[in-house]
Structure 1
Amino acid sequence: MEILHTAAALHAYTENCRRAGQRLGLVPTMGALHAGHLQLVQAAAAACDVVVVSIFVNPTQFNNPDDFRLYPRLPEADAALLGPAGCTVLFLPSVEEMYPQPSVLHFDFGPLERVMEGAHRPGHFNGVATVVSKLFHMCRPHQAYFGQKDWQQVAIVRQLVQDLSFDLELVSFPTVREPDGLAMSSRNRRLSTEARAVAPRLYEALEQAAAGVRSGVAPTQVQQQAAAYIMAEPAFTLEYFEVADAQTLQPVEAWEPGRSVVLCLAAHLGGVRLIDNVVVE
């Protein structure tokens, strides 16, 4: 596995691969890797000749300075995991390399970003779209791999690919969970033992809500019951629980035949912000 630190080195490497007729896969990450990340790397390795994994804690997508400062950074441990998973190239750029000058570009994804994460984290998706665009240009992958735990992010990146005509296929994989249902996340490392013990309550709320959706319980009632279940544990501060159209991400007010919905939440637990979702066909 090669480790590259500059955009020029990455671009030169991937262009050589393209000239050789090799298929390129890109897995963008912020590091502190877990089994969910490794699933994406393994899938990319199965479909592509060359797999590039980027690790970059992107400052422009954090609207909370403490969250950025405390985000886990484990480059050596991550590198040890990536080779066996099928990574060919690890791209480890600095902030100065990714942003040689402050970015002044502003993306507007319309209704897609005015709900949930976009509503509660101003500027977050502008930062995501900026760094993802940079990585797509630097690497020019044939396929890019993302996890569905960040459901809204996948929708934003899909719109980005369509609107800017990136010549690549976006591939997403289901959320990987711990045995007790907690969605795997790099931020889970920051949970105390006590917080970790109650964290699965989020997935329990999602599963109960999904059962309500399948039974035809009204969307507002599904939302209220899920919120009440989460907040019954005093350690949680619920930021949002939304019942939304799985494609448009807009709130669902009444059920329609054949419509897929996504149940999305964000909550704070012991100073750590956690997100999760479940899709109901």
Structure 2
Amino acid sequence: MSDRAAGPPGNQQDGVGNMHLASLSAGKTFIMDVARRGQTVGTVHTLGALHLGHAELIRRAAAENDVAIVTVYPNKIQLSPGPEYEFNLEDDIALALGAGASVVISTTDAEMFPPGYRTFVSQGDYPLRASGPHGLLKEGITGCIRWICFARPTRSYFGLKDIEQALLVKQAVADLLLDCEIRFVPTVRYKNGVPISSRLRHFNPSELDELSSLFMALNQLRKQAARGVSCAQDLLESAKPLITFRLFELESLRIVGADSFEDQKQIELPFIISGVAVGHGLRVPDNIYVPDQDTLLDGPADIWIDLPKRCESDVHAQSRA
């Protein structure tokens, strides 16, 4: 079922405090009531198509705050032109509430970007440096900041899988004097190293195994840097042979400063090791964020889960048979 075609379900309540609010006006009423009660708020802002990585963000928001708000909106200014973004709102609501969300707020293009909308968060060329010419980080940051202004959270949670976005949102919050703490949450990975992502939901196990070589190369770069290799070019050249793609292509492999997003020549903390694979018409990024010496030596505190027994495309094929 396509939620865009059917339209979002109306407000639904599932027990005290566990509900779906299908408009900004309904969400605003809920948020104002929470503010009157003086409760702390944790938010997780999503494009929809929620997965186990989102569930980890939601669990932390629920554990560390009185109220956990999840927003679901496929940001039309952020998503690249192409096929309609696939998500099932009912499934997303079920996952969010199951992970501990107090409320799920969804909305529409008409509410988020009415005629005359013209305000964007500008951070110079930092978003372009971070995501490359194909990225839409400026639009993504704008979407996140708008949701933070709307929900007024005590804390907002971002995964390290998208560390560039997380860092730019944190900077924007500081620059705009918004009273919100940005919390980073470790990347959730399959046990072969591939990060959980909605982009990979139709990939089969052999494709996921092939993609795992990208993480292996990134992690080898970190280990070599921990052993004292400081020349970024030497590190990159030594890692490229570890990426054994057949169905994918390597678009980029970089070591950039976490403060500037500029390519490093000599390794200097904090930095990001990033790579992008391209296949099936998708860009599949991965990264390792190295903010300090402990992470350099021991690796990031990723969360590891089992590979799926069957990918969604197999399930869909069976349902159509």
TM-score by length of 1: 0.90
Matching residue's letter, 1:104: R
Aligned position for 2:94: 80
Alignment equivalent of 1:139, drawn from 148, 151, 157: 151
1:65-112 Cα offsets, whole Å, 9 max, x none, are 12xx35330211221222221101101111111111253224331353
Counterpart Cα distance in 2 of 1:116 and 1:162: 19
Contact 1:263 1:279 in 2 (8 A): yes
1:192 Cα offset (Å): 4.0
1:207 Cα offset (Å): 1.2
Counterpart Cα distance in 2 of 1:131 and 1:165: 17
Higher mean alpha-carbon deviation, 221-230 vs 168-177, is at 221-230
Aligned position for 1:26: 43
Contact 1:72 1:186 in 2 (8 A): no
Alignment equivalent of 1:14, drawn from 25, 31, 39: 31
Gaps of 5+ in 1: none
1:191-250 Cα offsets, whole Å, 9 max, x none, are 2454223111111111111112112332111122333432x4232222211111233322
CA 1:97–1:167: 2 relative to 1, 3 Å: same
1:146-202 Cα offsets, whole Å, 9 max, x none, are 101001101110111011111111111110101111101111113245422311111
1:252 Cα offset (Å): 1.3
Contact 2:39 2:67 in 1 (8 A): yes
Map 1:61-140; keep pairs closer than 5 Å. 61-62=78-79, 64-66=80-82, 69-101=83-115, 103-117=117-131, 119-121=132-134, 124-140=136-152
Q: State the secondary structure of the residue aligned to 2:118.
A: coil
Alignment equivalent of 1:48, drawn from 46, 65, 69: 65
Aligned position for 2:177: 165
1:89-141 Cα offsets, whole Å, 9 max, x none, are 10111111111125322433135323141x2225x122112211221122111
Counterpart Cα distance in 2 of 1:129 and 1:261: 20
Q: State the secondary structure of the residue aligned to 1:145.
A: strand
Q: State the secondary structure of the residue aligned to 1:114.
A: helix
Identity in percent: 29
Alignment equivalent of 1:263, drawn from 261, 268, 273: 273
User: Does residue 221 in structure 1 map to residue 273 in structure 2?
Assistant: no
Contact 1:181 1:203 in 2 (8 A): yes
TM-score by length of 2: 0.80
Contact 2:73 2:108 in 1 (8 A): yes
Gaps of 5+ in 2: 1-17, 291-295, 297-321
Counterpart Cα distance in 2 of 1:116 and 1:234: 27
Q: State the secondary structure of the residue aligned to 1:274.
A: strand
Q: CA RMSD in A?
A: 1.8
1:31 Cα offset (Å): 1.8
Higher mean alpha-carbon deviation, 174-183 vs 184-193, is at 184-193
What is the total number of aligned residue pairs between the two structures?
273
Matching residue's letter, 1:261: F
Contact 2:46 2:71 in 1 (8 A): yes
CA 1:216–1:71: 2 relative to 1, 3 Å: farther
CA 1:139–1:116: 2 relative to 1, 3 Å: closer
Contact 2:194 2:208 in 1 (8 A): no
Aligned position for 1:251: 263
CA 1:113–1:107: 2 relative to 1, 3 Å: same
Q: State the secondary structure of the residue aligned to 1:200.
A: helix
Contact 1:264 1:278 in 2 (8 A): yes
* Greater per-residue helix proportion: 1
Matching residue's letter, 2:171: Q
Q: Comparing both chains, which one has the higher relative contact order based on Cα–Cα distances under 8 Å and sequence gaps of 6 or more?
A: 1
Counterpart Cα distance in 2 of 1:227 and 1:190: 26
CA 1:271–1:195: 2 relative to 1, 3 Å: farther
